A and B are shown apart, each in its own frame.
Chain A
Amino acid sequence: RKEVEQDPGPFNVPEGATVAFNCTYSNSASQSFFWYRQDCRKEPKLLMSVYSSGNEDGRFTAQLNRASQYISLLIRDSKLSDSATYLCVVNPPNTNAGKSTFGDGTTLTVKP
């Protein structure tokens, strides 16, 4: 089983739609989680951290379910500019050091 698994998609949605991605992780001791965005094979950029209580940033909401070991990203009112690959990232138990593990990404295309 992969350490971090994502549905690769692609997700093709119209502008204004709401879309959600899930990501599962295998290490129950993992401490911190993130969503990154990658455009056209450019460098990944941090989109948001994922907190246990859930967190929201504008149209984006991230949630963590420790019991089921998954995190989610919800995008409301999709814009054309949201088209990108979204990467789920899991940090090891010792968050002060060590590599982050990236999922393979979920591709989103928002169409007019």
Chain B
Amino acid sequence: NAGVMQNPRHLVRRRGQEARLRCSPMKGHSHVYWYRQLPEEGLKFMVYLQKENIIDESGMPKERFSAEFPKEGPSILRIQQVVRGDSAAYFCASSPIDRGRSGYTFGSGTRLTVV
């Protein structure tokens, strides 16, 4: 039973390019969460999705950032026209429908570097 799979592990983009980060949740998990960790800072919530639905995007920057979790395939976090300040580690986590007392399972993250 594979864990949460994120790819790519490392991504380098020039300013102005687009970055696409992928996350495949654990088998049986229908909830996906994206968190961002800037250098020397803590984890900050970005967006919470279920299949074909965005449930909570209160942590997403208003511009350039979008996320989806289609019926088929991985969840995608898309950053358009990247800037240096987008350089960070982006972690995806998944959980089952009824999380109850369970914590998250995180993927290994995607380290985005904008040059």
Tell me the A residues contacting B by CB distance below 8 Å.
32, 34, 36, 41-46, 49, 87, 89, 91, 95-105
Decide if A97 touches B100 in the complex (CB within 8 Å).
no
CB of A43 within 8 A of CB of B98, answer no
Interchain CA distance A46-B95 in the complex, whole Å: 13
Q: Does B108 contact A (CB under 8 A)?
A: yes
B66 at the interface (CB under 8 A from A): no
**Contacting residue for A101 out of B45, B98, B107, CB 8 A:** B45
A99-B45, A101-B45, A104-B41 given as contacts; is B99 within 8 A of A42 (CB)? no
The stretch that binds A, out of B14-22, B29-37, B68-76, B78-86, is B29-37
Q: Do the beta carbons of A104 and B99 come within 8 Å of each other?
A: no
Q: Is the CB of A102 within 8 A of B42?
A: yes
Q: A41-B37, A41-B89, A104-B41 are in contact. Are A95 and B108 (CB under 8 A)?
A: no
From A44, A95, A97, A102, give the contact of B101 (CB < 8 A). A95
The reply to whether A87 and B33 form a contact with Cβ atoms under 8 Å apart is no
B40 CB to closest chain A CB (Å) equals 10
B residues adjacent to A (C-beta < 8 A): 31, 33, 35, 37, 41-45, 48, 55-56, 59, 89, 91, 97-101, 103-109
CA distance A45 to B43 in the complex (A): 13
Say yes or no: A87-B108 contact (C-beta < 8 A), given A34-B103, A98-B56: no
Indicate if the CB atoms of B35 and A102 lie closer than 8 Å. Answer: yes
List 5 tightest A-B contacts by C-beta distance, closest first.
A104-B42, A43-B106, A46-B103, A102-B43, A99-B45
CB distance from A106 to the nearest CB of B (A): 10
B109 touching A42, Cβ below 8 Å: yes
A97 and B49 CA atoms in complex are apart in Å by: 10
**Known pairs A43-B107, A46-B105, A95-B99. 14 more at Cβ < 8 A?**
A32-B100, A34-B103, A42-B108, A43-B106, A44-B91, A44-B106, A45-B106, A87-B43, A96-B98, A97-B48, A97-B99, A99-B48, A101-B45, A102-B42
